[in-house]
Structures are given as C-alpha cells and as structure tokens.
Amino acid sequence: MPALVLALGVALVIITRQIDISIGSQFSMCAVVVGVVAAAGAPLWVALAAAMGAGVVMGALNGVLVAVLKLPSIVVTLATLVIWQEVIRLWQKGRLMSLPEGVQWFGMSQAGGQAAVIGTAISLLVVMAWAMKNLSAGRYVYAAGSDAEAARLAGIRPTLVTFGVFVLMGLLAAFAAVLNLVQSPQVQPNGGVGLELKAIAAAVVGGVAISGGRGRLWGVLLGLLLLASVNPALTHFHQPPYWEKAIQGLVILLAVAADRARAGSVSRKA
Amino acid sequence: MPQTLLQLTNITKSFGAVRALKGVSFSLEAGEVHALLGENGAGKSTLVKTITGAHQADGGALEICGEVVSNLTPAGARELGIACVYQQPALFPDLSVAENISLRLEKPGVFSRVKWKSQRERAAELLKRIGAEVSPEAEVRSLSMPEQQLVEIACALGSGARIVIMDEPTASLTQKEQHLLFKVVRDLRENGVGVVYISHRLEEIFALADRVTVLRDGESVGTNAVDDLTEAQMIKLMVGREVSAIYPPAQSEAGEVVLSVKGLGCVASGVSGVDLELRAGEIVGLAGMVGAGRTELARVLFGITPADEGRIFLNGKELTILNPREAIAQGIAYVPEDRRLHGVVLEMPISENITMASHSGLFPVGVLKFKAETEVAKIFIRNLGVKASGPDAAGGSLSGGNQQKVSVARWLATEPKLLILDEPTQGVDVGAKSEIHRIIRELAKEGLAVLMISSDLAEVVGMSDRVAVMSGGSIAGILEKEAIDAHDIMELALSGGEVER
C-alpha cells in the first residue's frame, strides 16, 4: 500500500513530463525523521508533522531545480537520491530505531490496522483521481505535460505546476513512509531503497505515458496489482524470487516501448 | 559568350495540395549576380532548395553547367560546385571556426587524423580573403550572428563553388559588414562565379545584381536586367495580382479606442518605438516582410516577451503586461502562428482545448463542470463551423483549418476585447480560409478589436479596415481604409529603417 501512494505521486510527476527517482530516499528520510523525533520524546503528531515537513522540503528542492532552474529531472533526482541516502547513512549509521507504543497499527489490532492502512491508501487514490479529473488544477497538470508552451500561452503557469507536483510528491513520500511505519515496530533507515522502481513501473504499466500528458490514476492501481502478482507467480512456477526486480525493469521497458509506438503513430497521423 | 552555369526549365513542386512552384524557369551565367525577388511565400525558398538538392522537383529540367541532373541530393549539389549561405548559419556552436570550415570542406575517414595546423591556416586564409575579422580559433558560439554568416561565406568560398546562393545574407548584418559582403560578392563575380542573391531590400539589388527574376505565387513573372527596371516597376511585378472579390465586405463601424500603444519596444525581440491604435469593431492588418517584427510585436503585447519601453493603454487604462496570464486577465487574446506547436493540444479533446484559457471564468471555484464545458464547446463548434465528430474528438484528429478554428474558439471563450491573430489562414485550405475570414468579420462586427498579422497581401488588403506596415521592428506606415493598396504596402514593407541596427 505505501507503494500505491508513491506510485500515485510519481504518476503525476510523469504526467508533467518529468521523472522523480529520488522517492525511495525521500521515503527513507521521512521514516527516519519520524523515528528521531519520536525518540526525542515528542508527541506522535509532532513526529508525523516533522516527516511531512521533511517530505515537502525535499520535494520543493527537486521542484526548484527542475521547474525553476530547468535542470533535467532525471539528473536532479538521481543526485538527490544519492544525497539523501548518504545523509541518512552518515547520520544514523544503519541503526534501527524503535517506535513508541501506539504507532503500530495506529494502536489498533493488526486486522483493524491493516484495514485502516489499505483504506487510507485507497481513499487517497479516490480523492486524487477525482481531483485530476474534476479540478482545474488537474487539467492544468495534463495541459502542462502535453504542451508546456501552449499551456503558458493559455495563461497556465507550467513552472508552478511542475514545482507543485514535485512538492506533492515529497508530501506523498512522507505519507507513504508513515503508512509503512505503522506496519512494523521499527524504523529501517534504508526502507525505501528500490521503491522508485516499483512506483515508476506501476505508473507506466498502469498506462501513464512516459512522454507526458496522458494517464489515469486508477490505472496505477491496476499496474501495481499486476506487478504485485509477479512474486506469487514466480513462487507458483518454482522460480527463485530474485527475478522480481528484473521483471519489474523489463516491464518498464515494455510499457515505454508500447507508449513510444503509440506516440509515433499519433504524430505520423498529425 | 558567357557560360551558363545553371538552367532550370519549367520546374514544378507541390507540397500536398499546395503548388509551391508552377513551372519556373531560371538561369544563371558565370560572372553574374542574379537576384531573386518575391513576396513571402512566392516560392523563393522552394526554388533555392531544388537547386541545393534539399527538395526534389516534381517536374521540369535542371541543368548544371550544361549537364542534365536528376535526383540531385545536397551532397551531390555540393560536389557539383553549388554552395548556399542560409539566413540562419548552420554551424556547430561548440567547435572552432577552423573546425567548422574543415568539416564543411572535407570528407575524411572515421580514423583519419585531424590536421590542426593546415586546418587553421586555410581558415585564416579564407577569412582574410573576405576581409572578416574573425579568429580561426574562436568558438563559433562566441561569435555574433553576422560573424557566423561570414564564416558561412568563407565555407562557400573555400569549397571553390561555381554557384553561390545567398538567402537574405544581409538580414542581420551591420552596415560595415554589409559593405564587406558586397565586396565579397563582387569579388566572386570577378572570378567567374555565378551568384543567386535573394533579398527583400531593393537598394541592395540595384547595387549588386545584374539581372533580377521576380517570383509571384510560384510563377516567374519575368527576368529583366536590373538597369531596365525602376523600383516601382519591381514592386508592381511582385504584387501584380488583382485582389479577388472573395473577401466578405466590411460592415463594422469603428467604435471606441480599445488598444493604444505609445513608443512600445522590447530590446530582446528587436521591436522599438511602436505607436498604434485599435478601435472596437476594427480589423487592423499588420503587414511586413518576414522578420520585420510583426510576431514579435504581438508577443510583446501578449506579455510573452514583456515590453521594456513605452506604454500600453487598454480601454484608456494604462497597463503593464508581464506574462500571458496578465494579458488574458486584461482581455487580450493571441492566436499564435504555429497552431501545431503552441495552439491546439493534440492529445486533448476539443472541449478541453476550447476551455483551456478560461477556467477562471467558467469554473471560478476550480471545480470543473463538465456539462457547462460541453455546452461551451458545442456553441463554439456550431458558431465557428468546426467540422468534428463532437466535443470529445481529440484535437489531433482535426484538419488544419478546424484546428485553427478550435484555437480561435479557445480565445473567444476568454471573452477578449482585443484579438490578435497571427497568420490565421496559413496552411489552411481555401474553403476553411474564407470561413475563417467570415468569422473574423463577424467578430469585428460584434465589437471586437482585431489585429491580424498576415503575410498574404491579398488577405491583408481584402480584410483590413486599416493596415499597419512594419519594417525593421517598427511601424513604417499606416494606411487608412480608402488608401489600402498592395503596392503601397509592399513599398512600405521594403522601405528603410532596417539598416541602422
């Protein structure tokens, strides 16, 4: 479920014709922030707010570099991916942190907590999908991703849209980290490693066009479910589970190739 | 008897349904400068491209030095001694001048060594021959536009070309550089090279050319010795055609002044000192040659490249317009020139394309109302006669003319007071064209002030209540209703104001 939250965010980023591969590190960082603040004895809500704040700051940094300074997002987020990872490593030195009582499963039973986590993630999907379809802001995201110059001439501010989407991505990374924390009694400082692959794969498999401007958030859920079935399928066919990541990578390539083929046929028609 | 270097006979070339060249004949002798003259879109570039091998002619014969050549490619043209200096230098910005010249003149193997010294010496020699003060070691990126053009000319010289084509070579040159260029051209002529010289500036043609061929609507309307023609006769040849009666009659009364600009300028886009007034219900044509600053002026008015001097008044209120958002909020609409690039979003349905610029008016809370959106789209589809399967059809599924209508609809949906149209009928078929003309007339009748940029002289004459002619980034003259005349427009468009840059 945390992966769904990340995938929703990265779907928006891809719709604006950008990419964010630093989300795994953002996720880890937010989790560590919760652990540190909680360990310092602050109330739980302060810890959660601190995590959200950290997410927004990391997202805003990416956003400024990409939207305002017009640096290529793949390079920017590759750099921030490594930076946050190394900051965590130097800061925490791989320590596991225990979380205070009451965090796990929101203080509920495991079944109730699990339901709450799934419910929260699905509600987020519903709200975001509605917003993308029904709000001017959502329409602007599609417009800026389809044709930034046309959008600008129509009075939309593509820079602001891109910046906003990166900030939202940071916030969602924090949200995902919190949803993940309630599932375990401890904070893993490298809990986000590799999550970007999963999230991006879910988005592109779910039909979000890597060339920007197209894609529905409901598709992201389907993409994620499809990818989640890879592991059980491997077990079923008695194959080692190590293949999962390789298959995710392959699936991304296939989805991108399919999108390219489609985009190619559109532009030939035009 | 001078040798004929180039002989084109009855060349035809079509792009889709557009007949760019309808049987043009042209010849070039050794040691002559032959000027090519014509309005925007008369077919000059197409003709040049068939000579350089960039386009293949559909019909007609091409002879180079007495030999019939078919299926000419750019590489083949180069080997036959044809060199072209384009308006926009096509050099590699990160390489040095000497490297660029070598790349143009040699065809080394993949592993052949670069001979730095001889490369540099040859570049220095060529540059010296044309009197250009450019270091062979300078990175091209660091050169000014005219300097780059001189490098291009050095390339043409170094290739030992017998036929040199210059496409508006002086467009970005200073007066001193122009004199340098004239000297180079005369030197080339002395050495028996044939020069095809394209320029909008008549005084250059009188100064340089031996003969002049005028193109109009893809046809040659005559080749004459330059000494046999007066300036007025040349202009007459260029515009010559009758303005057809297909334009809808003017029926609007000019009302209050909507837009008034005083001394408007923007250094970055080369627009300066523009004074212009537009009244409600009036169509003002903005004419001029390509590069005269028409689109640039529109972009300043719309805040894409904000003005850095002068004042803009809309309905008597002074404004500063820093970006398109503010322009839209004040009631200015701009339908850009290239609807493919900056107009209709191909992935989006027509309805979303139409409402794209008017969300704040239609959906003040930020929540979309699909029913209202579809209604708006339907109204515009009906009023503008957009041919589409419905409001949900993708923008990319429409023909050029219908895309243009959708683009216009987007701006009408913002309920503007001033509508700026940039080449509204470019690349649109004849039927859609007259429909767009009718729409523009109706909008003016409803009280909109319309500023129409057009390179189509007939359209400017047929549609405008007044015509402002631009040249060299400022208004060269304004023609009132009764005085609108293609000949005068062309004369103003070709008039000075350009040399002082």
Give A153 to chain B, closest Cα distance, Å: 6
**What's the pLDDT score for residue B353?**
92
Enumerate the residues of chain B whose CB falls inside 8 A of the CB of residue A140: 359
Half-sphere exposure of A260 (CA within 13 A, CB side): 6
Q: Does domain B4-239 have CATH number 3.90.1150.10?
A: no
B chain contacts of residue A149, beta-carbon cutoff 8 Å: 341-342
Reported as a single tens digit per residue, the pLDDT across A172-221 is: 999 999 998 888 778 888 888 889 989 999 999 998 988 888 899 999 99
User: Can you spell out the DSSP letters for B182-236?
Assistant: HHHHHHHHHTT-EEEEE-S-HHHHHHH-SEEEEEETTEEEEEEEGGG--HHHHHH
The span from the CA of B331 to the CA of B313, in Å, is: 12
Fold equal for B4-239 and B257-493: yes
CB contact under 8 A, A139 and B368: yes
* pLDDT value for B500: 35
Q: Does pLDDT of B174 surpass 80?
A: no
Residue to test with chain B: of A153, A156, A160, A211, most B Cβ within 10 A: A153
Nearest Cβ partner for A153 among B336, B348, B368: B336
Surface-to-core class of residue A189, CB atoms within 10 Å of its CB (0-12 exposed, 13-18 middle, 19+ buried): buried
**Average pLDDT over chain B, rounded to whole?**
85
A22-46: buried (b, 16+ CB within 10 Å) or exposed (e) per residue?
A: bbbbbbbbbbbbbbbbbeeeeebee
Considering Cα of A136, then A137, then A138, then A142, what sign does the dihedral take?
positive
Residue, of A165 and A93, whose pLDDT is higher:
A165
User: Which residues of chain B are at the A interface, by a Cβ-Cβ cutoff of 8 Å?
Assistant: 302, 304, 324-325, 327-329, 334, 336, 340-348, 352, 356-357, 359-360, 363, 366-368, 396-397, 410
Residue indicated by tokens 């999963």: A198
Q: How many Å apart are CA B270 and CA B147, to the nearest integer?
A: 19
**What type of residue sits at position B252?**
S
Residue B397 has pLDDT above 70, yes or no: yes
Q: Work out the percent of chain A whose per-residue pLDDT is above 90.
A: 54
State the helix-helix crossing angle for A44-63 and A158-181, rounded to 10 degrees: 150
Q: Locate the chain A residue with the closest alpha carbon to B327.
A: A155
Average pLDDT over residues B10-26: 85
Find out if CATH 1.10.260.40 is the number for domain B257-493.
no
For residues B99 and A245, give the distance between their C-alpha atoms in angstroms, rounded to a whole number. 47
Is the confidence at residue B245, as pLDDT, over 70? no
Task: Say whether pLDDT at A270 is over 50.
Answer: no
Domain ranges of chain B: 4-239, 257-493
Give A21-38 pLDDT, tens digit per residue.
999 999 999 999 998 998
Return the residue of B nearest to A130 by Cα: B367
Tokens of A47: 């810890």
Model confidence band, residue A246 (pLDDT cutoffs 50, 70, 90): confident
pLDDT tens-digit profile of A38-94? 888 888 889 999 999 999 999 999 999 999 999 999 999 999 999 999 999 999 887
State pTM to two decimals.
Answer: 0.76
Q: Do A157 and B357 touch (CB under 8 A)?
A: no
Q: Tens of pLDDT along B424-483? A: 887 676 667 778 888 899 889 888 999 999 888 888 888 899 999 998 888 988 988 878
Indicate the pairing of strand B211-216 with strand B33-38: parallel
Q: How far is B368 from chain A (nearest CA, A)?
A: 5
